[in-house]
């Protein structure tokens, strides 16, 4: 467990997530990972992903607390590929309550999950974020990440009918 802060302010504490934290982390993530945050978020924030990560890699599921309030979390896992000597760390989610940038909550969560991954023999940590999320990209570059690659993720909303123009265009090209 790591503690940060001065005697004048409540300390920020980073610790392993417990089963009692699942609901609080889920609700904090709902506040952070909204459609406004990332309209093209290809992974959905849901309780199943949290519980799966917690059940498989609980030592890589961390929370940041100020007092009794959870103000951030980092959820990760490790990946070992067949025929590869390398072990990869995957930081799946990193979320911090808005307004706490000066407390460096994200920085502290990342440093702790990185330390834990290094202890487990991880050689490369992978993250992904929306290509338009400049705040996240800048944050991770400050943490030492490089080799930024942009991926294309496409969606097809099956609940919406194509507009007439699009239907005509399809008929012309089909």
Rounded Cα–Cα distance for residues 132 and 136 (Å): 9
Find the domain containing 132 and state its range: 2-173
**CATH number (domain holding residue 91):** 3.40.630.30
Q: Are 60 and 113 in contact (CB under 8 A)?
A: yes
Rounded Cα–Cα distance for residues 67 and 5 (Å): 11
Q: What is the 3-state secondary structure of 38-65?
A: CCCCCCCCCHHHHHHHHHHHHHHEEEEE
pLDDT at 41 (0 to 100) = 56
- Please give the average per-residue pLDDT across 9-22, as a whole number: 93
DSSP 33: S
User: Residue 89 pairs with which residues in a beta bridge?
Assistant: 78, 125
* pLDDT range class, residue 36, cuts 50, 70, 90: low
CA–CA distances in Å: residue 125 to residues 2, 137, 167: 21, 14, 44
Q: Flag whether pLDDT at 40 surpasses 60.
A: no
Q: Flag whether pLDDT at 129 surpasses 80.
A: yes
Q: Flag whether pLDDT at 30 surpasses 80.
A: yes
pLDDT at 132 (0 to 100) = 80
Domain count, the chain: 1
pLDDT at 4 (0 to 100) = 47
Rounded Cα–Cα distance for residues 12 and 18 (Å): 17
Q: Are strands 69-80 and 2-4 parallel, antiparallel or unpaired?
A: unpaired
- Please give the average per-residue pLDDT across 4-18, as a whole number: 76
| 151 or 54: which leads in pLDDT | 54
Digit-coded pLDDT (tens) for 76-109: 999 988 888 889 999 999 999 988 877 899 999 9
Rounded Cα–Cα distance for residues 45 and 126 (Å): 18
Measured from the Cβ of residue 9, the count of other Cβ atoms closer than 10 Å reads 10
| 161 or 85: which leads in pLDDT | 85
| 149 or 3: which leads in pLDDT | 149
């Amino acid at each position: 467990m790591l503690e940060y802060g001065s005697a004048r302010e409540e300390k920020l504490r980073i610790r392993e997530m417990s089963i009692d934290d699942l609901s609080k982390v889920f609700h904090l993530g709902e506040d952070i990972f909204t459609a406004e945050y990332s309209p093209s978020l290809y992974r959905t924030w849901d309780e199943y992903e949290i519980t799966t990560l917690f059940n498989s890699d609980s030592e890589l599921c961390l929370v940041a607390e100020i007092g009794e309030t959870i103000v951030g979390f980092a959820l990760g896992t490790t990946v070992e590929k067949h025929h590869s000597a390398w072990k990869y760390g995957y930081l799946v989610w990193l979320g911090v309550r808005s307004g706490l940038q000066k407390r460096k909550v994200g920085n502290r969560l990342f440093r702790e999950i990185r330390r834990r991954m290094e202890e487990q023999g991880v050689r490369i940590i992978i993250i992904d974020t929306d290509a338009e999320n400049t705040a996240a990209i800048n944050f991770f570059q400050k943490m030492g990440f490089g080799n930024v690659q942009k991926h294309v993720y496409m969606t097809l909303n099956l609940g919406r009918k194509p507009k007439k123009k699009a239907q005509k265009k399809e008929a012309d090209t089909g």
